[in-house]
A and B are shown apart, each in its own frame.
Chain A
Amino acid sequence: MFSESTLVFIALGAIFAYSFYAVLVAGQLSLGQAGFASLAAFTGATLAPAPDDVGDLPALLIAIVIGMSVGAVTAVVLGLPTMRLRGVFLAIATLAFAEAVRILIINMEWTGGAQGMSVPKVVEPWMAWAILAIVAYWFWRQGNSRYGRALEAIREDELAARAMGIDVGSHRLSAFVSAGALAGLYGVLWAFFVRLLAPEDFGFAKAIDGLVTAVVGGSTAFFGPPLGSFFLEMVPEVQRAIGIEAGWIRPFLASLLMLLVILFLPGGLASLLPRRSQKLVLASSGDDAGSLTQRVHPAPGETVVQLAGLGKDYGGVHANKDIDLHVTGGEVIGLIGPNGAGKTTLVNMISGLTRPTSGTAEVLGLQPGRAAVHKIAAAGVSRTFQHSKLFARLSALENVMVGGHLVSKPTFLRRLLWLPSARRDEQQAARHAASCLERVGLADKAGNKASALSYGDQRRLEIARALASDPSLLILDEPAAGMNHVEADALSDLIASLASDGLTILLIEHNVGMVMKTCSRIVVLNFGEVIATGTPEEIANNPAVVEAYLGSSESEDAS
């Protein structure tokens, strides 16, 4: 049943599927892999020395180096202009690239045109499987590294990932380049196995095969691609073995099985295998846990936020107008106002997610709107979102570890080499995350999926995630929404204790009692403008504020 070619094709199919997996883990759908593979196969087969001169293995290895370089370089060239495209657009652009490559190669002289070129057969099953093992090892080690978590965070919620200080553009590009290199690897192996290399080997159907293999196998577990490849290669083998020969039944059953897998196994075949949940190593050494928080916060009196005449228009609508605000180190500022007053727009501008249309802003020495969001985060701005933007399919602990992206060290390359220091750093990052969870009272839910938490717990998890980056300025956008009085009081205490650590806090909240109790200064917005600022007592007695909240006596008469 396992003929030589079946064995090789299972391994090759898995390697090709890994090149899709490489981008799918980051939430990107690329269909350009067939193009990378094609270019790599033809260049590799042309430029590498003949196996008769240097021996089979050296020739293959040289071709692999050439092919992977070609794949990676092409991915950079294609990736630079296309990485801003999302979802289906990226898929179609890369598909177009692959088709263009196919047509170009058909029309070239050196590739042998539509007939293709003959290539000596060098690849043995053991070579293909050894290479597959290396690739699988790579992705296994990537999984629990800081880099791997950052990619997953981008897949789950790109905007939140950015706000956690992850440079989304370069992460997406690096995922794309690794996809290119892997596709190149596949192309070369294919070329040196099939004897006759034709441009039609790398058409649309091939790209779809790779994608299907990756998704059917499972695109969230590193062992998914080999499973998918094994499954899809074995379906026709089994059919042949049990004597199903009619031409149409085979594709029909293969498609049907694929449909069943995708409909009933959301995580692909990989979800059938039990997965060892990440062990929490939180034992002892409380001293280490604190070592990730080393930022020197601005002293009281030092400027943290300086806004002058800041405004934001959407069409003709002024979401914010002429906002002047000066926040200094250690202050707890409450930002209140009726719904639609422009509170969220204001904090979006402060955290760099929204570009102001007028005025200037300076936050911790940077100018949000000009500086990239992840740079603002690196300067020490961290935030929660009004509508939960958690990384839904990651555990609570992993969410917070992503929050700690900026303060933890990259571990992927050291994990590949199995260095003990990588393990230490990972444990330290996990302990740091666990201590943040403990601070918001979620320590016992560390292993739960974020999407499975209750609403109030999700709000707390957002705070823990924001805390993990050791921020100087913490922006909380309606953190108490959905909490009861007891929980809100606990949150209030937490905010007070954070302030005593030296953090500057900007709190948007509708629970006015809580704001009055917690904040040192309150800013009231209405219709996009600041209508009052002052201490809680001043605000409580300010007629303009009372009017904004309760309506004027006249309008009450009118109604």
Chain B
Amino acid sequence: MQQLLNGLFIGAIYALFAIGFTLVFGVLDRLNLAHPAVFAVSAFVGIELVEVAGLSIWLTLPIVFVVGGILGMVIERVAFRPLKDRPDAHFAGLISSIALAGMFIALLQWRYGPDTRRFPADSFPSTTFTVFGAQVTVVQVAILVISVVLMVALTVLVARSRLGRGMRAVAENPTAARVLGINVDRVTMTTFAISSALGAVAGALFAMNVNSAQLTMGTAIELKGLAVIIVGGMGSLPGALVGGLLLGLAEVFAVQYIGSSWRDLVAFGLLFLILLVRPQGLFGARKVREV
């Protein structure tokens, strides 16, 4: 039971991280490899806010959300927009976002040094619950609730709102969307902002969950995020949610029954299986090739 819950908590963070990844891919058909850097930046910013400004950890989340949004706009403006008409925009976007990510991480190193950082000792509420015989902290419950709420909110936003309609129109056909009066550049930028904001919250939550932040934390989750969006189906929001939870659970049980050194293989085994058996992912729609 304890394992099941632990798997859910970590899975919720994977899902929240991956949903930002998949949003950009689904709408814009671009893989933003600066996403993991946003994840890391926000963890450090969160810790700084608690440590220096003395904010409660709950207050840091909305701030981190905004910071992430701003980073998202920077990423779009600097690394993606200048490339959009290039024939090799796919590869070029990968490289430019990797480059930008490298700059973010270098700046982090400048500000905070290369060492692992932690929240101040008394920043977490010490209340714990017992659920079905398992120990659960307030922070863990909050992680699960916040992640799920954000993901549901995003799904509703995409399905119902005017902005969401714009996103789906751009995903279908950017040129047609532009002709129909949608401001494609603004929709694109907003998509990046939302995506990065979610990635930022995921980063802060992750730092709370393990109470540490390292410069390399983005790289570790990046591969898992990629696995999650493939397993769930590229561009599928519910797919990312289910895929993230599934991966979290699978990892925890792999550690339990196979051994911790094999934990990281789970993600890739799952991913490979899906690519071979059902390349469009659990929730993805197969795209019909056009002639």
Interface, chain A (partner B; CB < 8 A): 24, 29, 81-82, 84-85, 87-89, 91-93, 95-97, 99-100, 103-104, 106-107, 159, 204-205, 208, 211-212, 215-216, 219, 246-252, 254-256, 258-259, 262-263, 266, 344, 348, 353-354, 385, 392-393
Closest 3 CB pairs of A and B: A255-B102, A252-B106, A259-B99
**21 A-B interface contacts by CB (under 8 A):** A24-B91, A85-B275, A92-B271, A96-B223, A97-B272, A100-B269, A103-B261, A204-B222, A212-B95, A215-B92, A215-B95, A219-B91, A248-B106, A248-B107, A251-B105, A251-B109, A252-B102, A255-B102, A258-B99, A262-B83, A348-B291
Per-residue CB proximity of B253-288 to A under 8 Å, as 1/0? 000000001101101110110011001000000000
The CA-CA distance from A258 to B227 in the complex, in Å, is 27
Q: By the criterion CB–CB under 8 Å, are A95 and B223 in contact?
A: yes
> In the complex, what residues of A have CB within 8 A of residue B88's CB?
219, 266
> In the complex, what residues of B have CB within 8 A of residue A254's CB?
102
The CA-CA distance from A194 to B287 in the complex, in Å, is 46
> In the complex, what residues of B have CB within 8 A of residue A159's CB?
289, 291
Does B31 belong to the interface (CB within 8 Å)?
yes
Nearest-Cβ distance from residue A155 to partner chain B, whole angstroms: 9
Main secondary structure of the interface of B (DSSP, over half): helix
Q: By the criterion CB–CB under 8 Å, are A93 and B95 in contact?
A: no
Q: By the criterion CB–CB under 8 Å, are A266 and B86 in contact?
A: yes
Interface-central residue, A103, A104, A212, by most chain B CB under 10 Å: A103
The CA-CA distance from A106 to B263 in the complex, in Å, is 12
Contact of B219 among A103, A104, A205 (CB under 8 A): A205
Q: By the criterion CB–CB under 8 Å, are A99 and B264 in contact?
A: yes
A107's closest neighbor in chain B, by CB? B261
The CA-CA distance from A104 to B21 in the complex, in Å, is 27
Interface size for B (C-beta < 8 A) is 48
> In the complex, what residues of B have CB within 8 A of residue A104's CB?
265
Does B103 belong to the interface (CB within 8 Å)?
yes
Does B125 belong to the interface (CB within 8 Å)?
no
Given A85-B275, A212-B95, check contact A100 B268 (CB 8 Å): yes
Does B176 belong to the interface (CB within 8 Å)?
no
Q: By the criterion CB–CB under 8 Å, are B272 and A255 in contact?
A: no
> In the complex, what residues of B have CB within 8 A of residue A84's CB?
279
B82's closest neighbor in chain A, by CB? A263
The CA-CA distance from A247 to B82 in the complex, in Å, is 30
The CA-CA distance from A251 to B103 in the complex, in Å, is 7
Nearest-Cβ distance from residue B261 to partner chain A, whole angstroms: 5
> In the complex, what residues of A have CB within 8 A of residue B102's CB?
251-252, 254-255, 258
Nearest-Cβ distance from residue A143 to partner chain B, whole angstroms: 18
Nearest-Cβ distance from residue A381 to partner chain B, whole angstroms: 15
Nearest-Cβ distance from residue B274 to partner chain A, whole angstroms: 10
Q: By the criterion CB–CB under 8 Å, are B261 and A258 in contact?
A: no
Q: By the criterion CB–CB under 8 Å, are A85 and B279 in contact?
A: yes
The CA-CA distance from A208 to B33 in the complex, in Å, is 11
Contact of A266 among B92, B99, B269, B271 (CB under 8 A): B92
